[in-house]
């Protein structure tokens, strides 16, 4: 499936059983939105990742060893674990 970015360019994709996790470039991405989201096989966006701060964006993402959570980092200095099924924050830490 060819995924088109919402606003900028796609920096990373991760294939999951529920779809494709997409991380878009934070440069010029609207701060009020989330640049990390899950696209289902039908091309629809299943979720946009919850952000620890309304004006930060994600800079890195990877699967955790458990296979059901994502480890993320933001430009605002947060490390977060996200639920793969919902995109909701399970835990967060400030790394500044």
Query: Residues 46-96: pLDDT tens digits?
Result: 999 999 999 999 999 999 989 899 999 999 999 999 999 999 999 999 986
Domain at 10-94, CATH class = mainly beta
Question: Count of CB atoms within 10 A of residue 55's CB?
Answer: 9
**CA separation for the pair 42, 52 (Å, rounded):** 28
Question: Count of CB atoms within 10 A of residue 2's CB?
Answer: 4
**CA separation for the pair 22, 94 (Å, rounded):** 23
Domain boundaries along the sequence of the chain:
10-94
pLDDT of residue 27: 95
pTM assigned to the model:
0.94
User: Tokens in use for 4?
Assistant: 């088109």
Residue 31 is given by DSSP the state T
């Amino acid at each position: 499936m060819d995924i088109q970015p919402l606003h900028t360019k796609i920096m990373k994709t991760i294939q999951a059983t529920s779809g494709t996790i997409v991380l878009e470039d934070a440069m010029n991405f609207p701060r009020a939105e989330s640049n990390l989201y899950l696209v289902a096989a039908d091309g629809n966006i299943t979720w946009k990742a919850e952000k620890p701060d309304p004006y930060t964006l994600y800079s890195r993402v990877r699967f955790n060893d458990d296979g059901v959570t994502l480890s993320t980092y933001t430009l605002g200095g947060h490390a977060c674990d996200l639920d793969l099924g919902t995109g909701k924050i399970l835990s967060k830490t400030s790394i500044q």
